[in-house]
Amino acid sequence: MYLFRSSVAYAMRKYFLKERNETIPFGEENVWVSDKKPRISFKFFVTSPNNVSDIIPRTEVENAIRLSRSRINDAFQLDDNSLEFLGIQPTLGPPYEPPVTIWLIIFGVVMGVVVIGIVVLIFTGIRDRRKKNQASSEENPYGSVDLNKGENNSGFQNTDDVQTSL
């Protein structure tokens, strides 16, 4: 119980120094614990170090605990789910930020797909050219025909060598 009382006293000192610019020497004897139960459930209140009958208002105690919530949790090695202060909302941790931004991951995936597409197009083009070159290197079916031995088409031949006058 001493650790809890001294943690709350520290929170009160820090709160009054930071918020009110007052140095008030809160000690563990200024934190009173009552109504203890076996499952670590209890009520507490804080009194002024100068006057024991002067009770610090609940709102100031809540603000002090909010200010030092992480320190109190660390002292008991608990988190907001296991150490609960009734009336004080748990502190929210910062949202998770991945080490690499999301847009950079998406950009990398899209660029990878584009590069793979370009490589596939280049390789299929090279493969198609090789197939086309192999097909064109086949023997010419008209290569065995003698072009000097041709057939004469009389429709295009002129038998009259007569020239007309102008």
Tell me if 12 sits within 8 A of 26, measured CB to CB: yes
Q: H helices within 20-149, ranges in order?
A: 58-67, 69-76, 102-136
Neighbours of 61 (CB within 10 A): 22
For residue 6, the number of C-alpha atoms closer than 13 Å in the C-beta half-sphere is 5
CA dist 122 and 120 (Å) reads: 5
Tell me if 55 sits within 8 A of 43, measured CB to CB: no
Partners of 31 in the beta sheet? 46
User: CA separation (Å) from 148 to 144, 145, 152?
Assistant: 12, 9, 11
Say which DSSP state 44 is in: E
Token output for 11: 């929170």
138: enclosing H helix or E strand: none
Q: What's the pLDDT at 82? A: 62
* Statement: the pTM of the whole predicted model exceeds 0.85: no
Instruction: Look at the alpha carbons of 121, 125, 126, 127 in this order and tell me if their dihedral is positive or negative.
Output: positive
pLDDT tens by residue, 23-73: 888 888 878 788 777 776 777 778 888 888 888 888 888 888 888 777 777
Buried b (16+ CB within 10 A) or exposed e, 3-26: ebbbbbbbbbbebbeeeeeeeeeb
CA dist 29 and 46 (Å) reads: 9
Q: What's the pLDDT at 93? A: 64
pLDDT tens by residue, 107-147: 999 999 999 999 999 999 999 998 888 777 666 666 666 76
Indicate if the pLDDT at residue 12 is higher than 80. yes
pLDDT tens by residue, 72-120: 777 777 766 666 666 666 666 677 777 878 888 899 999 999 999 999 9
**Residue located via tokens 């109504």:** 35
